[in-house]
Structure 1
């Protein structure tokens, strides 16, 4: 029986392969080129600063915008902030916001079960099959996959005309994310070399690192780490190191237990850069209705039987 929740077709698969080549393969090649150029001239504070700034901007666009706001409705913000978050997330080159949100909602619906687009746990036992699952979740699932029907998964998002309009300029925003560090590199250094290294380190290398970091949440965080919460049939796990590297995303078991929560780190010791940014928006009057589970609910989920702990996906 046909599953109307997903779309398949040669045209979609061609688009997926093209996106994979443009924003996964080419950034990898560009990263190798940037590393090779280190033999010609080492990088300095400018390149490191541009990399860090663009890593922060695009990473927050993904975790705060794409993930917590649009996919799960974890807080409310103004129109211009939400549009800016689409631009910031788009510059990461991880796909248009509406598509990303649809795929992530399907991931929560079917996490580590048949139909999950990027589970590492559906390829059998043994180290070879486990390695195959890791590579699939980290990278190769993006080459060709079922496309979630946005009319089914994200009707709330496609009903917002301004979001659809900004989302429609996805490729322009990706190019902007490459152009900004190139222009800044040229202006700061007053040289063509600065344009090149700004483009490479603030643009290409940053895109590659952000992509690999976000993909590691799909792979590593469904294979390794702690499970303080029982979740509905998935293998989501917490990895503190990934929380630091991925803007708070590494508290993945926490997130699967409370998908609606704006905070992925649920304890004072769980560093969550994305949530700190949301709190800063709230303090500035730019975010409200910030959803965080009550302490007693967190405690109850820790002791609940899995069958009694089905998550609220929180994307109404």
Structure 2
């Protein structure tokens, strides 16, 4: 989506809203008390899983892990991660396909369980990112402070985590009017705390029942809740930071987005970021056979099962026209 593209929710009843990059009123202020409360909560969400991840080395040393924990962690990572990549990103933000009401709600819940914020806020932030990508107004550009080493180091921190603590938020009415007019998604967003709780509690409950002990529940909570959330968060944030500084640029885009192949599997295809910024509405980001994109595989499967339709697949001729000069 370019700076002057229309945010057009296909299939929604709300009228399309035009995003004008020349307009500076893209954020809404919050009360100081509310902002402080949200910042404290956010800090806990970041610090606690990170501390859990830091503790994995001694825990592994003591062999406090089982195949059960790995299975639960991988399954929860796949469900919540694809909830973000397929749901929040390729569907709600860019409308890369159309689907039914039950699937739409399921995608919103799965994405919410990644604990990256309510659906509407996530989408508004990302649409604003595309409107101002790597320019003034981008909520998380690593080039915010300039190209020098110190400036870029500061910018990478801002793009990775720092921007989450901004007092002002993206104007949701401006960037996500279609979702604000969707009563189902509004309800899912308002219940974000519930989905976050389920995301953290479910692995412990399943692990405890599966292992038949309280220790099994604690282990599952550690690996499939805390560590899983931490890894997924940092992979998502790496798309904002690393993928706008490093990587290859085979396609023409108006920013510095790059393809970073080492992140492809963990990011579920999101790290093929250069093509995404060249053609934001495509449902497939890894267009080469060797470019792993599990989000594309899932969307393709859903299309085969008639769960989604009107999928925006890449057009070879258009891709050739988008190739950057060598």
TM-score using structure 2 length: 0.88
Partner of 1:89: 111
Equivalent residue runs for 1:151-170 within 5 Å = 151-170=173-192
Number of positions where the alignment pairs a residue of Structure 1 with one of Structure 2: 303
Partners of 1:235 and 1:258 in 2: CA distance: 14
Partners of 2:294 and 2:157 in 1: CA distance: 27
Q: Contact conserved, 2:64 with 2:219, CA < 8 A, in 1?
A: no
Equivalent residue runs for 1:118-133 within 5 Å = 118-133=140-155
1:12, CA displacement in angstroms?
5.1
Partner of 1:136: 158
1:194 partnered with 2:216: yes
1:23 partnered with 2:45: yes
1:36, CA displacement in angstroms?
4.1
Partner of 1:277: 298
25-34 or 128-137: bigger deviation: 25-34
Partner of 1:259: 280
1:29, CA displacement in angstroms?
2.2
Unaligned runs of 5+ in 2: 1-21
35-44 or 254-263: bigger deviation: 35-44
Partner of 2:249: 227
The CA deviation string for residues 198-230 of structure 1, in whole angstroms up to 9 with x for no partner, is: 111110110000000000001110000100111
Q: Contact conserved, 1:16 with 1:142, CA < 8 A, in 2?
A: no
Which secondary structure state, in structure 1, belongs to the residue aligned with residue 323 of structure 2?
A: helix
Partners of 1:261 and 1:237 in 2: CA distance: 16
Out of 207, 221, 230, which is 1:208 matched to? 230
1:106 partnered with 2:141: no
CA RMSD in angstroms comes to: 1.8
The CA deviation string for residues 135-184 of structure 1, in whole angstroms up to 9 with x for no partner, is: 11111221225311111101111111111112211010011011111011
Partner of 1:77: 99
Partner of 1:147: 169
Partner of 1:296: 317
Partners of 1:140 and 1:303 in 2: CA distance: 32
Partners of 1:207 and 1:128 in 2: CA distance: 30
Unaligned runs of 5+ in 1: 305-316
Partners of 1:221 and 1:28 in 2: CA distance: 21
1:32, CA displacement in angstroms?
3.3
Partners of 1:303 and 1:52 in 2: CA distance: 37
Which secondary structure state, in structure 2, belongs to the residue aligned with residue 237 of structure 1?
A: coil
Q: Contact conserved, 2:250 with 2:324, CA < 8 A, in 1?
A: no
1:13, CA displacement in angstroms?
2.7
1:129, CA displacement in angstroms?
2.1
Q: Contact conserved, 1:34 with 1:200, CA < 8 A, in 2?
A: no
TM-score using structure 1 length: 0.91
67-76 or 18-27: bigger deviation: 18-27
CA separation of 1:19 and 1:190: change in aligned 2, threshold 3 A: same
Partner of 2:6: none
Q: Contact conserved, 1:251 with 1:265, CA < 8 A, in 2?
A: yes
Partners of 2:81 and 2:224 in 1: CA distance: 13
